[in-house]
Amino acid sequence: MRIAAIYFVHETVTFLPYDTTLEDFIYEGSPARGEALLSSDPQGAMGGFVKVAREHANVEVIGIESPLMPKTGSASGWIDKTTYDH
């Protein structure tokens, strides 16, 4: 069995005066794919999922290219339309 895993996290803070742009998601290590993605959050949801999935025989987890947490962190404005469309 092959399972594709993708990671996307964004918490919008409604009243911030700026949007979150594509550039906020592009930095050293992001986007991540393959093993880099699967090991990017070893103590979080992604790491827990990968750990448990790999405990089962005949299961392959594949990391699909994913943006990691934006540089702005959890205090991010709305994602602008160009970034959303991307």
Average pLDDT, the chain: 92
Contacts 24+ apart (CB under 8 A), 9-13: 9/68, 9/69, 10/69, 10/70, 10/76, 10/79, 11/74, 11/76, 12/76, 12/77, 12/78, 12/79, 13/74, 13/75, 13/76, 13/77
Cβ–Cβ under 8 Å, residues 2 and 39: no
Number of residues that make up the chain: 86
Statement: residue 80 has pLDDT above 80 = yes
pLDDT tens figures, 8-26: 888 888 888 889 999 999 9
- Dist. CA 19–CA 83, nearest whole Å: 10
Of all residues in the chain, what percent carry a pLDDT higher than 70? 100
pLDDT value at residue 73: 80
Tokens 């540089």 correspond to 71
Of all residues in the chain, what percent carry a pLDDT higher than 90? 69
Mean pLDDT of 76-84: 91
